């Protein structure tokens, strides 16, 4: 029986290329995105559903880009649109590091916990069960290139988030993996992934899923 996996994320799940100018819209193709490598690695027993929205936050309405960037508010739509789901992979938190939000590292982790709880509390799994959840902690960002002002101060907070994550997720009994152990953001804009980063992440997520689920 085919298992259904929802990948719920932001521009790095959408496949946005490292940016050299604002409002750049280019996107890696289906096979180059990390979800494509994930699909190839998991094989035909898994159906991969991509839900990547550039700019999506964990649970914040964006005063510039719009309220629809709130990942927690819109998660029920995705869960119910694609039900039944066996597993939901959540990779969010990068956009929370934008200077306009000033969210502490611990609060981003708490926000990820709330997203996981929303999945666990849903009935969108097989036979109205709740799907399982894998949290993918995004790799630390760099403050370089065209997005450096937008993410000013974000590098320090992303490193702190990485430091706090093991204890936090253990205490909250959440299944997770650290993307930063396997790949890095592009030095072009410090936020998005290049082709090699996508490939490494897709293979790492596939291994985590096969090991944990």
Amino acid 1: pLDDT = 83
168-209 pLDDT, tens digit each: 999 999 999 999 999 999 999 999 999 999 999 999 999 999
pLDDT at 193: 98
Question: pTM of the prediction?
Answer: 0.97
Instruction: Over range 126-153, report the average pLDDT.
Output: 98
End-to-end CA distance of the chain: 15
Q: Is the pLDDT of residue 164 over 90?
A: yes
- What is the pLDDT, as a whole number, of residue 39? 98
pLDDT of the residue at 23: 85
| CATH fold label, 3-212 | Rossmann fold (3.40.50)
- Say what the pLDDT of residue 24 is: 87
> What CA–CA distance (Å, rounded) separates 157 from 28?
28
The reported pLDDT for the residue numbered 38 is: 98
What mean pLDDT comes out for the span 53-79?
Answer: 97
- Residues 91-95 have a mean pLDDT of 98
What is the pLDDT averaged over residues 107-123?
Answer: 98
Assess whether pLDDT exceeds 90 at residue 40: yes
- Where do the structural domains in the chain lie, given as residue ranges? 3-212
Q: Hunting for tokens 């964990």 — which residue is that? A: 58
CA 168/CA 190 separation, integer angstroms: 25
Helices (H), 136-191: 154-171
pLDDT at 7 over 90: yes
| Mean pLDDT, rounded, for 133-144 | 98
For Cα atoms 152, 97, 205, give the angle at the middle one, nearest 5 degrees: 130
152 has a pLDDT exceeding 90 = yes
Q: How many CA atoms lie within 13 A of 122 on its CB side?
A: 27
134: Cβ contacts below 8 Å, ≥ 6 apart: 87, 88, 89, 90, 175, 176, 177, 205, 208, 209, 212, 213
């Amino acid at each position: 029986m085919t298992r259904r996996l929802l990948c719920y994320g932001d521009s790095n799940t959408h496949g946005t290329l490292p940016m050299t100018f604002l409002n750049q819209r280019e996107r890696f193709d289906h096979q180059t995105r990390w979800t494509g490598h994930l699909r190839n690695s998991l094989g035909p027993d898994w159906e991969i559903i991509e839900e990547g929205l550039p700019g999506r936050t964990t649970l914040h309405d964006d005063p510039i880009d719009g309220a629809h960037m709130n990942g927690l508010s819109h998660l029920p739509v995705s869960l119910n649109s694609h039900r039944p789901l066996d597993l939901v992979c959540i990779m969010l938190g990068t956009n929370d590091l934008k200077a306009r939000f000033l969210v502490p590292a611990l609060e981003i982790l708490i926000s990820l916990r709330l997203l996981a709880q929303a999945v666990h509390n849903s009935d969108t799994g097989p036979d109205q069960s709740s799907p399982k959840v894998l949290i993918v902690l995004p790799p630390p960002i760099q403050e370089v290139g065209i997005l450096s002002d937008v993410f000013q101060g974000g590098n320090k907070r992303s490193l702190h988030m990485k430091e706090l994550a093991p204890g936090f997720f253990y205490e909250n009994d959440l299944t997770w993996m650290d993307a930063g152990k396997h790949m890095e953001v592009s030095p072009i804009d410090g936020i998005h992934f290049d082709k090699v980063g996508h490939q490494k992440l897709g293979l790492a997520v596939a291994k985590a899923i096969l090991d944990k689920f």
